[in-house]
Copies of this chain bind each other. A is one copy, B any other.
Amino acid sequence: MLEAAEAVLREEGYAMLTSRRIANRIGVKQQLVFYYFRTMDDLIVSAFRALAKRELERLVGALQSEHPLHEIWSVCINTGDARLIAEFMALAHRNERLRTEVSEHIERMRCIHVEALAGAAKRNKTKKKDLGPAALSPLALSFLATSAALALTRESAIGVAMGHAEIQDLIGQSLAALEPDRPAPKPRSRSRRT
Given A93-B86, A142-B163; A147-B151 close (CB under 8 Å): yes
Q: Which residue of B lies closest to A95 (CB)?
A: B13
Which of chain B's residues have a CB closer than 8 A to the CB of A157? 93
Given A86-B93, A89-B86, A99-B159; A167-B143 close (CB under 8 Å): yes
Q: Mark A80-101, 1 if CB is under 8 A from B, else 0.
A: 0011001101111110000100
CB within 8 A of A102: which of B140, B148, B158?
A: B158
Which of chain B's residues have a CB closer than 8 A to the CB of A164? 143
A173 CB to closest chain B CB, in angstroms?
Answer: 11
Total A residues in contact with B, Cβ cutoff 8 Å: 48
**CA–CA, A163 to B54, complex, Å?**
24
Residue A66 lies at the interface, judged by CB distance under 8 Å to chain B = no
Given A83-B93, A151-B150; A110-B162 close (CB under 8 Å): yes
Which of chain B's residues have a CB closer than 8 A to the CB of A158? 89, 92-93, 99, 102-103, 106
Please give the residue numbers on chain A whose beta carbons come within 8 Å of chain B beta carbons, in ascending order. 12-15, 82-83, 86-87, 89-94, 99, 102-103, 106-107, 110-111, 133, 135-137, 139-140, 142-144, 146-148, 150-151, 154-155, 157-160, 162-164, 166-167, 170, 194
